[in-house]
Structures are given as structure tokens and as C-alpha cells.
Amino acid sequence: MKQSFYFYANPFQPYSQSAARALFDQLIPRGGKVYADEYLSRQGIGETASLSALPKDVRAIIAFGGDGTLLRVAPFAAQQDIPLLGVHTGTVGFLMPGDAEKPEETAALLLSDDYPLQRHPMLEILHENQRYLALNDLSLNRGEHPGVIETILSADDEIVFRAHGDGVVISTPLGSTGYSLSAGGPIVHPCTRCLIATPLCARELLLRPVILPLESKITLCAHGRDRRRLQLAVDGQTLIPITEEAQIEISLAREQLKLLSPGPFRFFHTLRTKQQIWNQQKEQE
């Protein structure tokens, strides 16, 4: 019986197509079957299928691109309980352990009887009867308007802080090296069971990031001035404009993301490598 996989690529990165083709050419001769998004299938790579309703025989999803590509795919993979592998063809690729230069090794990993999985929590975000999933973070912010907003963060029915500034970002441990880190939040090992609440450009000088239990029930309320439009950003991929006062409910989702890893999980090794690139302001090839 053929083992089936789903390919999803960032169409704005030309290298993602060649990386997908290289892996496709390794899987097919070994008895694999490939479904793909419309962009790749038009190039003759795989049979067209929708990410939101994958065939039942798909064993794993492979995302080609950078961290943003993986974050776009993550909610679909988690909801359908399908493992996800990120193959890095972007610039930073902190979440992308797959090596585009090693398609033979990647194919062997995918076709093996057993491969290492890392399980990561997802956040459930509720706003106006809509449900969203986040792997890295969510932010409630001032959007395109330059004015200060007041954001009130509560956890388990207790007010944690009131921040006057650009808003607040709530991050998972896996997402601690993203937006939260840029805003002054701590680096947290992904295996730590916690959430990070980081104010964005708060004018309160003593207001600092807060570590909360992973199971916390969090509420974010924001009040703009003169009913200026606010913005809810989920993993930096889904942007929801809010024209009225905002109330966002955040909790641990029932879904988890299964991330495939070609080798041992070495968080701090990866962090040091990426920081060298960031500090030198060099583009990763």
C-alpha cells in the first residue's frame, strides 16, 4: 500500500518549488504518493487536494518555506491530527528542521516505520463566536493607528495588569523566540508548560512580561481612543480588524501539533545558530 503525503509550499519563494520537486522525485520511485496544493500541482508536483479537507490516507504534511509557511499550515495539521514537517527554504526557519539540500534523507525519514514526533500545545482564541488556533502567539494591538490603547489582561478571573501602549502579545513556549522576544519577553524552552504575556511598548516603566500557567484561562480587553480600529493577529498570519471594544478569550486548545524532526531536538543549538544570523544581520541561504 502506498504511503501518501501532502505538500504545501510558499509560492513567493522560488526555491520552495525546487525543494518540493526534489523530495517528490525521491518519494515516487519508492512507492510514495503525493498530494499537493494548487501552486505545486500546477507544476506537475502531486495531485491537487485541499489543505482543509485532506484525503484520509495522508500520513504527513510537508511545508516548504519559512516559519510563516509552517504557521499557516499548523492549524489544519493539528485539527486533522496529521504530523507536520517543515522543510526550510526561507530566511530564518526557526521552526523548520527539514533540510532542503537533503531530499534523500527526508524521503527515508518519511517512509520509515517510525519517526520522532514533538507534540506542541496550541492556543484556542475566541472572538465574536469565531474560533482560531495559534501555535506561536497572538497579539491584540493598535493596528494601523498610532494612538495608545489600554489593554487589560486577566487570568483565571484575576486582573494581571493594565497596559497603556501598543497592546499585548500572548505566546506559547515554542513561540517565545518570536514576537514576544522582540518585545522584551524571555526565551523559554519549548518543553516548559507555561504561557508568556508581554506588553507591547507599555508606558508603565515597571510593567514587565508575566509567566502564567499553561492551563490559564486568559481574557484580553482593549479600549482604543475615539473607537479607532484595533487588530487581533493570530500567529502573524490571520489579521482580524476590530472596530469596537475587544474582548478576547484565550485558553489551551484540545488540539496539539505533531512536529516531525529529522534528528534529536536541540533547542539551544538551533537558537545559537539563528542568533548568529540575526546578530550579524545576514540573510540565511
Active site residues: 67
Contact criterion met (CB below 8 Å) for 145 and 229: yes
Q: Which of 219, 208, 164 is nearest to 186 (CA)?
A: 208
The C-alpha cell at 258 is 505533531
Q: What secondary structure letter does DSSP report for 176?
A: G
Pairing of strands 84-88, 58-65: parallel
User: b/e map of 112-145 (b: 16 or more CB within 10 Å)?
Assistant: eeebeebebbbbebebeeeebbbbbbbbbbbbee
**3-class SS of residue 19:** helix
The C-alpha cell at 208 is 514587565
